[in-house]
């Protein structure tokens, strides 16, 4: 399986990143399957970064094989959602950006993609209007609503599938809203969609 992640998909986050332009197409990057962290296992901060940031994101799971999927049919290609963290070694990413180099070392390293428990997308009446949030040590640090996505889930699926065949089990991280920040050892991360806690793990 593969993990496709969307960058810069919320205007509020783009502002905090001091992006002055909006991309006309989704910004995409990938994480390998070795990036997955599941079942509440702890995340160990790797020693190559001094600035490990959480990015809380709604994650959708692909349920059908597809290529060149039309936007109007895209809703048929995913069936479950959860909340996940797109861990980013911000210091490394900054260095890569300065040199014009790809982001992978800063975003796609082992265990950089913790995911919560999946729930059927029908749990929610409108996938483009769900609240999600991250609490760290009991304090809410990041909150978003999928209605604020620049590119909707269906638009993302249509765009991504032009380049990459989507397979059953592939995951799409749909971007983070404002409120990113650093994690520290012993932090307790809890991710919610609406009032349901789907993600729960510790940083070690
Ligand atoms: Mg992200």
Residue ranges of the domains in the chain?
3-202
Residue 55 C-alpha to ligand 1 middle, in angstroms?
Answer: 5
Distance 68 CA to ligand 1 centre (A): 24
pLDDT of residue 40: 98
pLDDT at 18 over 90: no
149 CA from centroid of ligand 1 (Å):
12
**b/e for 36-59, b at 16 or more Cβ within 10 A?**
bbeeeeebebeeebeebbbbbbbb
Question: How far is it, in rounded angstroms, from Cα 44 to Cα 21?
Answer: 34
Which range (10-14, 71-75, 149-153, 195-199) has the least confidence? 10-14
pTM: 0.96
* pLDDT for residue 86 is more than 80: yes
Report the pLDDT value the prediction gives residue 20, as an integer from 0 to 100: 67
Q: Give the residue, 37 or 22, on which the prediction is more confident.
A: 37
Going from the Cα of 46 to the center of ligand 1, the distance in angstroms, rounded, reads 18
Task: Examine the pLDDT at 14 and tell me if it is beyond 90.
Answer: no
pLDDT bucket at 21, cuts 50 / 70 / 90: low
Question: How many A from CA of 83 to the centre of ligand 1?
Answer: 12
Q: What is the pLDDT of residue 12?
A: 82
| Bridge partner residues of 85 (DSSP) | 56
Pairing of strands 78-85, 36-37: unpaired
Measured in angstroms, how far is the CA atom of residue 120 from the centroid of ligand 1? 22
Q: How far is the CA of 175 from the centre of ligand 1 (A)?
A: 5
Tens-place pLDDT, residues 173-200 = 999 999 999 999 999 999 999 999 999 9
Average pLDDT, the chain: 96
pLDDT of residue 181: 97
Average pLDDT over residues 59-87: 98
Instruction: Give the CATH number of domain 3-202.
Output: 3.90.850.10
**Cα(13) to centroid of ligand 1, in Å?**
10
Q: How far is the CA of 176 from the centre of ligand 1 (A)?
A: 5
pLDDT recorded at residue 29: 96
pLDDT at 97 over 70: yes
pLDDT above 80: residue 130: yes
- CA-nearest of 89, 92, 90, 113 to 101 is 92
The answer for residues whose C-beta is within 8 angstroms of residue 95's C-beta and 6 or more apart is none
Q: Are 69 and 161 in contact (CB under 8 A)?
A: yes
Amino acid 129: pLDDT: 97
Q: How far is the CA of 197 from the centre of ligand 1 (A)?
A: 20
Q: 75 alpha carbon to ligand 1 midpoint, in Å?
A: 22
* Ligand 1 geometric centre to CA of 86 (Å): 5
Highest mean pLDDT among 9-13, 100-104, 110-114: 110-114
Interval between CA 29 and ligand 1 midpoint (Å): 9
SS (HEC) of the chain? CCEEEEECCEHHHHHHCCCCCCCCCCEEEEECHHHEECCCCCECCCCCCCCEEECEEEEEEECCCECCCCHHHHHHHEEEEEEEECCEEHHHHHHHHHCCCCCHHHHCCCCCEEECCCEEHHHCCCCCCCEEEEEECCEEEEEEEHHHECCCHHHHHHHHHHHCCECCCCEEECCCCCCCEECCCCCEEEEEECCEEEEEEEEC
């Amino acid at each position: 399986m593969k993990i496709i992640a969307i960058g810069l998909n919320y205007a509020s986050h783009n502002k905090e990143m001091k992006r002055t332009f909006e991309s006309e197409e989704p910004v995409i990057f990938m994480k390998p399957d070795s990036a997955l962290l599941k079942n509440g296992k702890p995340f160990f901060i790797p020693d190559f970064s001094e600035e490990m940031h959480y990015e809380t994101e709604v994650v959708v799971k692909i349920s059908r094989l597809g290529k060149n999927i039309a936007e109007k049919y895209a809703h048929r290609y995913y069936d479950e959602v959860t909340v996940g963290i797109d861990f980013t070694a911000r210091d490394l990413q900054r260095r890569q950006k300065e040199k014009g180099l790809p982001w992978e070392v800063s975003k796609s390293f082992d265990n950089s993609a913790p995911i919560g428990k999946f729930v059927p997308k029908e749990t929610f009446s409108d996938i483009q209007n769900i609240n999600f949030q991250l609490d760290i040590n009991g304090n809410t640090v990041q909150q978003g609503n999928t209605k604020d996505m620049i590119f909707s889930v269906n638009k993302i699926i249509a765009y991504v599938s032009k380049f990459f065949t989507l397979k059953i089990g592939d995951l799409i991280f749909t971007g983070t809203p404002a409120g990113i920040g650093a994690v520290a050892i012993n932090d307790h991360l809890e991710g919610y969609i609406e009032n349901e806690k789907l993600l729960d793990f510790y940083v070690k």
